[in-house]
Structure 1
Amino acid sequence: MKIAVASGKGGTGKTTVSVALAQAFDSPVCLIDSDVEEPNSAFFLKPGLKSRTDVTIPVPNIDAEKCTGCGACSSFCTYNAIAVAGKGVMVFPELCHSCGGCTRICPANAITEIPKVIGELSCGQSGTITTLEGRLKIGCAMAPPLIRAAKKAAPDLPVIIDSPPGTSCPMITAVSGCDFVVLVTEPTPFGLNDLKLAVETVRKLGLPFSVVINRSDAGDDRVVRYCEEETISILLQIPESREIAKAYSRGDSLLQAEPALNAGFRNIIRSIQTEVSQ
């Protein structure tokens, strides 16, 4: 079973909910932190590091002696990762999507592919929780390949994926292929606006989902009313709490701050398991 925890915006409590779900499991589970531009689940789980590996993507390498400067590669590349000026060819690896098309279209066979490191994947252990954390290299903009590598490395366990915020390619890469999506939001105008975007996205992907409302008593009832109108189930409402905020600043998890919420998260897991098994 794969559960993705996502949100339409950052700062809603997505990682807080992901960590709490992992801690509420009564059996071994894997937590993937796929928010590779700013992973932070390790702050709360404090896993012992088991391994760290580089993640690479293939990018074009031009053999200047073979290249005729015909421009076929440049014309083919939708992402402008290759530019041809006369017989000179420039490659922009940061723009390359690693489709391999340029190597196939080159009539002189002057293009091969070489690996480019885009980030690293760390594996750790925190009690019964196996952690996988992707961390994008500074200056690299291609998060999806690193997210896919993290998902591929997951062991044969139930998986919780802490997704990147928003509804662009990284989030879609993280939630694709999951059995269920938990959308975390907050009762504010921004929270509702971005929840609507996230709902539209997961509906287009055909994924079952429900909502968790964080800081539920800090705003109004607009999110609850929207969920009722759209027949979206609300799995849990987490009240605003100074104790939770203080625990967060210390690096303590939600369930460490409010152990009484453990029952609510166990209910979420049972509810998802029931829906997935139908």
Structure 2
Amino acid sequence: MNIAVLSGKGGTGKTTISTNLALALKANYIDCDVEEPNGFLFLKPDIKETKCVLVEYPFIDDNKCTSCGECAQVCQFNALAKIKDNIMLFEKLCHGCGACEIVCKSGAITYRKREIGKIEKGMRGDINCSRGVLNVSEPMAVPIIKELLNQLEKGINLIDCPPGTSCNVVNVLKYTNAAILVTEPTEFGLHDMKMALELVKVFNIPFGVIINKDDGEGNLIKKYCKEKNINIIGAIPYSKYIAIDYSKGNILYENLNHKYIFDELCARTKEVLQWS
């Protein structure tokens, strides 16, 4: 079973919940926030394997190129441009669709590969941990996310999504059976949770909400979920001691003062989601 943990915005506690809930569920942890993966800062797995992620890009043979410009015209991503009598390549915009190679009548275009990031795998006790890391200055995270999710282990996989509702999140949800939405009891939290809810509904998968920094009151998130008949899996209390622990990179689940919170979230997750 693949469970996505997502939020409509960054900074809601998505990774805090993902890492600790993975331990409570005894689930494999997959960090798909490849632009800023930080789950390993908490889990500290023993990394056993590193693999480079490669993407294709067009290579233009100047000896064959007639500068007709048809490749630039067919490119839907503006990776090629005709400047006077020259063809310019912006390789980081290329999606590797192959259209330019097809229309090139002189056979001047072939494809080569370049590295855009890597995938790391390791173990934290009995659970598998994996993450993708996008190289600095690379604009496209989706190829790494797809490579990461095409290698999912059997059993329960807890997938730490990128923040927001971009195409990166959409590509994660394609692989999932259920979702957990993490939010906080603020106007910004509610606004962005609504966006994430609409996205999850498109995939027609079961989902529930976890409230981070909960004040214990009937806050706006609880009121909204009640009105819309949305299941609340549970909440993490607003606590200075929790903040101190995770700011130090500690796992909350290993602290007896906090462990019960994630044991309760674990039990409720199995109730709310269609467990399989």
Of residues 214-223 and 8-17 in structure 1, the stretch that sits farther from structure 2 once superposed is: 214-223
Counterpart-to-counterpart distance in 2, 1:190 and 1:219: 18
Counterpart-to-counterpart distance in 1, 2:115 and 2:268: 38
Matched, 1:25 2:25: yes
Of residues 190-199 and 169-178 in structure 1, the stretch that sits farther from structure 2 once superposed is: 169-178
Residue correspondence of structure 1 range 189-200 to structure 2 within 5 A: 189-200=187-198
Q: Is the 8 A contact 1:124 1:131 kept in 2?
A: yes
Residue correspondence of structure 1 range 82-93 to structure 2 within 5 A: 82-93=80-91
Of residues 142-151 and 216-225 in structure 1, the stretch that sits farther from structure 2 once superposed is: 216-225
Deviation, structure 1 residue 104: 1.8
Choose from 155, 158, 161 the match for 1:157: 155
- The letter of the residue matching 1:59 is Y
Q: Which residue of 2 aligns with 1:118?
A: 116
| DSSP 3-state at the match of 1:211 | strand
- The letter of the residue matching 1:223 is I
Counterpart-to-counterpart distance in 2, 1:60 and 1:101: 10
Matched, 1:169 2:167: yes
Counterpart-to-counterpart distance in 1, 2:80 and 2:194: 38
Of residues 263-272 and 80-89 in structure 1, the stretch that sits farther from structure 2 once superposed is: 263-272
Counterpart-to-counterpart distance in 2, 1:157 and 1:102: 42
Q: Which residue of 2 aligns with 1:70?
A: 68
Counterpart-to-counterpart distance in 1, 2:80 and 2:216: 50
TM norm structure 1: 0.94
Residue correspondence of structure 1 range 221-260 to structure 2 within 5 A: 221-257=219-255, 258-260=258-260
- The letter of the residue matching 2:8 is G
Q: Which residue of 1 aligns with 2:16?
A: 16
- The letter of the residue matching 2:232 is I
Deviation, structure 1 residue 85: 2.2
| DSSP 3-state at the match of 2:264 | helix
Deviation, structure 1 residue 218: 7.6
Paired residues, what number? 274
Counterpart-to-counterpart distance in 1, 2:155 and 2:91: 35
Of residues 170-179 and 43-52 in structure 1, the stretch that sits farther from structure 2 once superposed is: 170-179
| DSSP 3-state at the match of 1:215 | strand
**Structure 1 ranges of 4+ moved more than 4 A:** none
Deviation, structure 1 residue 265: 2.6
Unmatched segments (≥5 aa) in structure 2: none
Deviation, structure 1 residue 271: 2.2
Q: Is the 8 A contact 1:132 1:154 kept in 2?
A: no
Counterpart-to-counterpart distance in 2, 1:254 and 1:220: 25
Counterpart-to-counterpart distance in 1, 2:231 and 2:106: 58
Percent of residue pairs bearing the same amino acid type: 41
Deviation, structure 1 residue 204: 2.0
Matched, 1:128 2:126: yes
Unmatched segments (≥5 aa) in structure 1: none
Listed one character per residue, the Cα deviations across residues 45-78 of structure 1 (whole Å, up to 9, x for unaligned) are 1100101111111111111122111111111111
Deviation, structure 1 residue 88: 1.4
TM norm structure 2: 0.94
| Pairwise CA RMSD | 1.6
Counterpart-to-counterpart distance in 2, 1:36 and 1:177: 16
| DSSP 3-state at the match of 1:58 | strand
| DSSP 3-state at the match of 2:214 | coil
Of residues 181-190 and 151-160 in structure 1, the stretch that sits farther from structure 2 once superposed is: 151-160
Listed one character per residue, the Cα deviations across residues 142-178 of structure 1 (whole Å, up to 9, x for unaligned) are 0111111111122223211100000011111122220
Q: Which residue of 2 aligns with 1:261?
A: 261
Of residues 55-64 and 219-228 in structure 1, the stretch that sits farther from structure 2 once superposed is: 219-228
Kindly tell me: are residues 51 and 203 of structure 1, through their superposed partners in 2, closer, same or farther at Cα, counting changes over 3 Å? same
Q: Which residue of 1 aligns with 2:179?
A: 181
